[in-house]
Amino acid sequence: MTTSNKFSIPFIDNGGSGEIIHFAHANGYPPGCYQPLFSLLTKNYHVLSMLQRPLWDNSDPNEIKDWHPFTSDLLDFLDQQSLHFSIVIGHSLGGIASLRAAIIEPDRFKALVLIDPVFFSPFHIFVRRLIWSSDLIYRFHPLIKAARYRRRKFSDLESIFNGYRRKPIFRYMNDENLRAYIKGITVPDKENGYKLTFSPEWEMRIYTTGIWNDLDLWKNISKLKIPVLVIRGGETDTFRTPAANLLRKRLPSAKLITIEKTTHLVPLENPSRVNYEIVKFLQEKL
For 262-275, how does the pLDDT look when each residue is reduced to its tens digit (9 = 90+)? 999 999 999 999 99
For residue 161, pLDDT over 60 is answered with: yes
Which pLDDT belongs to residue 145? Answer: 58
pLDDT of residue 220: 97
Q: Please check the confidence at residue 169 and state whether its pLDDT lies above 70.
A: yes
Q: What is the mean pLDDT of the chain?
A: 92
* Residue 134 neighbours by CB under 8 Å, 6+ apart: none
A 10 A CB-CB count for 163 gives 12
**Reported confidence tier of residue 3, pLDDT bands at 50, 70, 90:** very low
Q: Look at residue 132 and tell me whether its pLDDT is greater than 90.
A: no
- Per-residue model confidence as pLDDT tens digits over 188-223: 998 789 998 998 889 989 988 999 999 999 999 999
What's the confidence (pLDDT) of residue 2? 42
**Domain residue ranges in the chain:** 2-285
What is the predicted pLDDT for the residue at 144?
62
Number of neighbours of residue 243 by Cβ within 10 angstroms: 22
DSSP E strand boundaries for the chain: 2-4, 11-13, 20-24, 46-50, 86-91, 109-115, 153-154, 186-188, 194-196, 228-233, 255-259
Instruction: With a cut of 60, say whether residue 7 has pLDDT above it.
Output: no
Provide the H-helix boundaries in 12-67.
35-41
Q: What is the mean pLDDT of residues 152-157?
A: 88
Residue 134 has pLDDT above 60, yes or no: no
Helix, strand, or coil (residue 79) = helix
Closest CA to 30 of 56, 64, 4, 63: 56
Cβ atoms within 10 A of the Cβ of 129, count? 14
3-state secondary structure of 38: helix
Once rounded to an integer, what is the mean pLDDT over residues 255-265?
A: 98
Q: What is the pLDDT of residues 11-50, one digit of tens each?
A: 999 999 999 999 999 999 999 999 999 999 999 999 999 9
CATH number of 2-285: 3.40.50.1820
Distance between CA 244 and CA 177 in Å, rounded? 27
Q: Residue 5: pLDDT band by 50, 70, 90 thresholds? A: very low
Q: What is the pLDDT of residue 153?
A: 87
152 pLDDT more than 80 = no
Residue 146's pLDDT band, with cuts at 50, 70 and 90, is low
- Whole-angstrom distance, CA of residue 270 vs CA of residue 264: 11
What distance in Å separates the CA atoms of residue 247 and residue 253, rounded to the nearest whole number? 10
Query: Is the predicted pLDDT of residue 79 greater than 80, yes or no?
Result: yes
Closest CA relative to residue 275, chosen from 32, 16, 24, 42? 42
Q: Under a CB-based contact definition with an 8 Å cutoff, are residues 98 and 90 in contact?
A: yes
